[in-house]
Amino acid sequence: MLKNWLRNFQGPFFALVFPLISVWIMGSIVVSYTTSSSVPGQDNPLSHVFLSIIPSFIALIIISVCMSSFTNQLIDFKTSVIIKRIGVSPISKIHFFLASYCFAIFLSFISTLWIVSVIEIFFHSDIYSQAIVAQAHMLQNFSSFLIFALGWLLGIFVATSISFWVTSISNSQGKAIGIIMLFFFPTMFLSGAQLPPSLIDHSPSLKIVSYFIPQRYAIQVLYSGYFSSSFFGTPNETIKVIYQNSPIHAWHAAIIALSFSLLLSTWTFSTWKWEN
C-alpha cells in the first residue's frame, strides 16, 4: 500500500502538502494579527477562533488524508490489476479492510506529526503559544489525552468509511474523485476543521446543515479532549464558547460518529466487489 501511495501524486499531496498550505495561510493571518494588534481577550470570539487553530488543523489533516489521499489510493487499487490479484488470493475482505484502516491511521499519524512540528517550529505568536500550552496540558492529563485520541480515531474511521463507500460505488477514478469532493468541501468547512463551530453557528442555516456532517461529531470529541473538557460531565468554558452551548455532549457525539462509521462500513463491506 505504501509503495502504491508514494507513486500516486495526489496521495502525498493531500496528506502532506495541502494541509501545509492551510497552515501557511492561517499561520500568516494569526501571526500578522497578533503582531499588528493586541491578543484578543477571552470575551472576544476571535480568541477562541485562534486558540482552536491547532486542533482544527489536526481535524483538517484527518479529512484531507482519509477522504482525498486515501480515496485516490483505493480507487487506484480498484481500477488496476492489483485488486483482482488480491481477490483471487487467500486475503479476505475483512483483512483488506482492516489493513486499509491501519494504513489510514498510519498516514494520519505521520501527517499530524509533520504539521504540528511545522506549526511549533515556524510560527510564533502569543495565540500559538496559548494553543501549544493547551496542547501540553492535554498531553499531561491522561483522561483528556484519551478523549482526544478517541476523537482522532473516530475522525479517521468516519472519513475512511466514506472513502470506502465512494470507492465501492465508483468504477473510475474521475467518478470517485468527483463524488468524494462533494463530501470533502462541505466537511472541511462545516465540520469544525477549517472554520471553528463558533463561527458556523452564527449562521442558523449553516448550523443546521453542520449537524448532518458526520465528521462534526468526531471533531467535537477531539476538541473536548484537546481543551481538557469532561467527557460525561459539564463541558468547560472553552468548549461552551466553541460549540455555542450545543446540547450534544462529547459522549453523545462519540456515539453518533461511531454508529455512522460502523453502519456505513458494514454496508460497504457487504456490497464490496473486487472487480469493477
Please give the sequence-ordered ranges of beta strands (E in DSSP) within the chain, or none if there are none: none
pLDDT (tens digit per residue) in 123-132: 655 555 555 5
Q: Average pLDDT for residues 92-103, to the nearest whole number?
A: 80
Cell representation of residue 110: 505521520
Under the banding of pLDDT at 50, 70 and 90, the label for residue 218 is very high
Is the whole model's pTM more than 0.75, yes or no?
yes
pLDDT at 154: 94
**131-150 residue pLDDT tens:** 555 555 656 677 778 888 89
pLDDT at 155: 93
Residue 179 has, within 13 A of its CA and on its CB side, a CA count of 18
The DSSP call for residue 68 is I
Summarised one tens digit per residue, pLDDT across range 147-206 is 888 999 999 999 999 988 988 888 777 888 888 888 888 888 888 887 777 778 777 888
Residues 229-244: tens digit of each pLDDT: 665 556 666 666 667 6
**What pLDDT does 122 receive?**
67
State the pLDDT at residue 255.
Answer: 93
Chain center to CA of 16: 14
- Distance in angstroms (rounded) separating the CA atoms of residues 53 and 60: 10
For cell 491578543, the residue is 39
Rounded CA separation 103/74 (Å): 11
Angstrom distances, CA of residue 216 to CA of 11, 68, 114, 261 = 24, 17, 23, 13
